[in-house]
Each structure stands twice: as C-alpha cells, then as structure tokens.
Amino acid sequence: MAYRELGFTDKKAARDCALAARDGIAAQDKAVYDAAIGQAVIDMQEYRDAEVILAYASYRSEVDTLGLMRRALQDGKLLFAPKVAGRDMEFWRITAPEDLRAGYRGIPEPRAHVSFPEWLAGREDRTRPCRVMMWMPGAAFDRERHRIGYGGGFYDRYLAGFSPRCRLFVAALAYDCQILEKIPHEAHDRKPDRIVTEKHIIA
C-alpha cells in the first residue's frame, strides 16, 4: 500500500518500524527505487534553480546519494556534505564523492576544506539570495511531512540557524515504506518542503 496504515505516539517505535522496513528492501529493488528517486529530484524546478546542494552522504540502507552527487557536480552545482563535531553539524565543500571518509558513527564525512558559511561569506554576488537545495535523510515520515531522524537533532539545530541570505528548499529522500500514517512531532521539528519517494512527491 502507498502508506502504512499505522499511527504512532512514540518516536522510537515509529523509527524502529520504518527502519526495519527500509532495511528489508531487496538490493535489486533498492537500486530501482534509488534511480526513481534520483530522477524525481533532478526533475524538480528547485534542483534546476539551485546554485548549491547540501547533500547528506548515504549510509547503510538510506536512499543512495552518491549517484546524485555526481550528477549535481556534472550539472555545475556547488556540492557540500555534512560533518559532525560534538553536538553540531556543518556542511563542507566536496568536489567528488571520493572526498568522503568514514567519520561520525562510520558515516561518510568530507575532509574539512571550505565550509558552507565560509563560502557564503566570500560569494562574489551578494546582491541576490543564494538558492540552496538540501537533501535531508530521515528514519520515518508521515503524510503531513513530519519527520523523525536518528535521535541526534542535528538537522533541526542546523536549520534553526540557517542563513536568511539564502533561499532554502529542503527535499527529504525516503522510500515509500518509511511513510507512516502518523508520527509524533514537536514544535521545533523542521518539516521538509517535499518528501521524495520512489512512488510519490509529498507536498
């Protein structure tokens, strides 16, 4: 079915359910789903308009972003990936997926060269806002675009302080099996602007 007919009042239960479903996707199906999600992303007007892509580096059973990263670079986008330091996360520029190395909890992270704020501060044309597209990971979502992450709160904290000099569009990438009927959420949780799955774009 398109959406799991399940409602949750506990974040851990929702997270565990969605991740178990995601982990259970067969490898051959995952490759097909990844291709469909990637195509949906690059077909979006927000992708075409974006100067900068803030891309998570896929890990384990997450929607694969390595192919999308390569496509973004081919399309002339400036590409940044996240690196964790303590309770904080920042995005650092990469010029190829090979710039990534195992970091926080084994997740691929960039070698620190130029951070997104550093690049933004040195941007030549400061008269127009920078158009940014973020690819957001997550464990579970619902039809109202609420999101449950992995418990660290990194994206919520990062987005709370995001530069007002940018026009930001957030696209969460997920498999359809991660979309639950209802999940618990809090006022400070940041909803993505769209959720892109292999079957739907949820607005």
pLDDT band at 68 (very low <50, low <70, confident <90, very high): very high
pLDDT tens, 83-123?
A: 999 999 999 999 999 899 999 999 999 987 899 999 999 98
What is the model's pLDDT at position 72?
98
pLDDT tens, 24-36?
A: 999 999 999 999 9
Rounded CA gap, 33 and 28, in Å?
Answer: 9
Q: Order across the sheet with 194-196: list the strands.
A: 88-94, 78-85, 52-55, 130-136, 166-173, 194-196, 201-202
- pLDDT for residue 7 is more than 80: no
Which pTM was predicted? 0.94
For each of the domains in the chain, give its residue range(s) and CATH number, in order of start.
4-202 (3.40.50.10420)
Residue pair 201/195 in contact by the 8 Å Cβ criterion: yes
What is the model's pLDDT at position 6?
57
pLDDT tens, 119-142?
A: 999 987 777 899 999 999 999 999
